Amino acid sequence: MATHVVADNQVGVHNLALEAGVVEIVQFGQDIDQVEVTQISGEDPVYFTTDGSTPAVPAAGAASACYSTLGVMLPVLLDPRTWQSTSIRLVSASAAAVSVVRA
């Protein structure tokens, strides 16, 4: 698990490589109003949380408590509902690449 810190004067992290089953963290130094998560590559969805909890890849057909990407190059835009720093945690069942940026 690695943490990628986004400074206040930066937009986000682009082309972040995810290894299968390994949680990566994108940490914004302040509360952000909206975040955009875009899957750049990979065959399986990327699951992520915005509340600091650890995401997990659900079993096939099972429900998930995490947000997920909808497919390659289809951005997910949401309000992370945080009050201090914003932590986005991501995981995928297979290798993938994502961009996580403030919107």
Domain of residue 73: give its range. 2-102
The DSSP secondary-structure symbol of 72 reads B
State pLDDT tens for residues 15-32: 999 999 999 999 998 888
The tally of domains found in the chain comes to: 1
Summarize the confidence of residues 83-88 as an average pLDDT. 84
The enclosing domain of 51 has a CATH number of: 2.60.120
| pLDDT value, residue 17 | 97
pLDDT over 80 at 51, yes or no: yes
| pLDDT value, residue 101 | 97
pTM of this structure: 0.92
The mean pLDDT of the chain is 92
How distant, in Å, are the alpha carbons of 10, 51, 80, 91 from that of 85?
Answer: 14, 10, 10, 20
Structure confidence at residue 7 as a pLDDT band (50, 70, 90): very high
